[in-house]
Amino acid sequence: MTKKDFYSKAEFFTPDEIFDIQKQRFINILNIIKNTKFSNFYQQKILQHNQNKLTLDNVIAKFNNCNDKADFYNLFNQLIPFTTKQDLRENYPDKLCCFDKKNYVRLHCSSGTTGNPTAIFYTKADLDKWADLMARSLFVAGVRPDDVFQNMSGYGLFTGGLGIHQGAEKLGCLTIPAGAGNSKRQIKLLQDFGVTVIHILPSYALHIAEIISEYKKHQFSNLRIAIVGAEPYSEESRQRIQNALGVKVFNNFGLSEMNGPGVGIECQQQNGIHIWEDSFIAEIINPQTCEILPNGEIGELVLTTLTREGMPILRYRTRDLTKILGNDCPCGRNHLRIDRILGRSDDMFIVRGVNIFPMQIENILMNFQQISNNYVIMLQTNPQSNLDDLHIKVEIKNEFFSEDIRQLQNLQKAIESALHDEILVRPIIELVQHNSLPKSDGKVKRVIDLRQK
């Protein structure tokens, strides 16, 4: 790739340039926090964290005087407290807003299922920067202004709708706000408008992939890129989507608390997600001890907004588990790469004393060519033994749903033992007919916990 092939010069900043801009932007954020009359959340939190020994002016001066990268991050770790989802819930709806209400032009909410959601407010400048980051992300995945872009994600409070949309428009694509669901209509739009790029959630992509593979391939010959994110998916699932749709799939990461999508994306190398470090500081911590982990160790991703003026969030504990892969990449960008998200710390469940992530199960299931793209994991208490059972229903492709019971039993056993080798618990596998499990066009719920508490 030539160095001229970029959307923003920031993509090719050197590590030193990235550090300089992080420092400058972080101090800027601290000044917003210090000067605001509308939120005392971080003013108090930072003072409490350093036991009132330093004023915010002292904290800012310390960062200002720090010119060494390692010292800066040490200081950051020492002086800046973590923010949790609980903090955001307790301060719902707007206690982190640093400006008067009239300065905000949009809000979104995160996809929480219980209690208060978290609401994020954006000023006009915040929206412009977010659109720019999203446009940059799409460009890095290979999207260009002459592409026709179909956004198959739900619009509304979820940031996957408008967040992606504004990026595609900013880049100059003809952007179709298709929204989620209604597969027949999606396919008609794909065909009628010669769509070249789609944005889609992985669970829905796997579903659409099955429908599309029933059509003749040439009808979608224009389609070349799928931007896929918002929920975890395995490398095997990526391969399935790529093969079925004849596209290259790019893993796209973000969360409402950090604007939404546009926090990072894979480049042409498809070797991990580049986090846009000129706009976010990324760290990986041990979720139990909160210690910073070295590159390569799996832990919880912690992110800080560096450019959002209206509602900065510092050291947000995302609960997403991943590892840092490094900050060099054959594409020439130095923004650090993280591994695909393995799952959320709150997705993990324990069966018979073993910690299991849904993604470990998906990794194994998707290796069986007989299994179609849908499955559900059920946790139940066995009434006889009173122990937890791991019950997995998997859809079988029509061509393998044989009437020969022995064939099905062999397949069932093979899946059971492959899973047992991986997760050390023997699951109960139930093979079900294709299209018999519930489908979702939003974020899918793969685990249903029916255990007696």
* Residues at the site binding ligand DLL, with contacts judged by CB under 6 A: 110-111, 153, 158-160, 229-232, 251-256, 260-261, 318, 320, 341, 344
Q: ∠ CA(283), CA(284), CA(289), 5° rounding?
A: 120
Report, in Å, the least distance between residue 231 CB and ligand DLL.
5
Q: Burial level of 65, CB count in 10 A (0-12/13-18/19+)?
A: exposed
What would the DSSP string read from start to end of 121-171? EEEHHHHHHHHHHHHHHHHHTT--TT-EEEE-S--SSSHHHHHHHHHHHHH
**Residue placing its CB nearer to ligand DLL in the complex, 260 or 299:** 260
The token pair that represents 376 in the structure block: 């559900």
How many other CB atoms are there within 10 angstroms of residue 128's CB atom?
13
CB of 69 to ligand DLL, least distance (A): 27
Task: Decide: 248 and 226 in contact? Cβ < 8 Å.
Answer: yes
Task: Tell me the closest approach of the beta carbon of residue 257 to ligand DLL, in angstroms.
Answer: 7
Measured from the CB atom, the residue of 196 and 322 that comes closer to ligand DLL is 322
Residue among 255 and 324 whose Cβ is closer to ligand DLL: 255
Nearest-approach distance from CB 142 to ligand DLL, in angstroms: 17
SS3 85: helix
Tally the residues of the chain. 453
Shortest distance in whole angstroms from residue 205 CB to ligand DLL: 12
Output the CA torsion sign for 351, 115, 284, 6. Answer: positive
Least Å distance between CB 258 and ligand DLL? 9
Q: In the complex, what is the shortest distance from the CB of residue 109 to ligand DLL, in angstroms, rounded to a whole number?
A: 8
Q: Rounded distance, CA 128 to CA 337, Å?
A: 24
| Upper half-sphere CA count for residue 169 (Cβ side, 13 Å) | 12
Nearer to ligand DLL, 317 or 333 (CB): 317
| CB-based burial label for 113 (10 Å; 0-12, 13-18, 19+) | exposed
**Cβ neighbours of residue 354 closer than 8 Å, sequence gap 6 or more:** 423, 424, 425
DSSP single-letter state for residue 434: T
With respect to ligand DLL, which residue has the nearer C-beta, 333 or 344? 344
Comparison of 118 and 196: residue with beta carbon closer to ligand DLL? 118
Residue type at 166 in one-letter notation: Q
208 vs 396, which CB is nearer to ligand DLL?
208
Q: How far is the CB of 266 from ligand DLL (least distance, A)?
A: 9
Q: Which is nearer to ligand DLL, 300 or 388 (CB)?
A: 300
For ligand DLL, give the closer residue by CB, 63 or 233. 233
**CB of 252: closest distance to ligand DLL in angstroms?**
5
Give residue for tokens 């070295």: 294
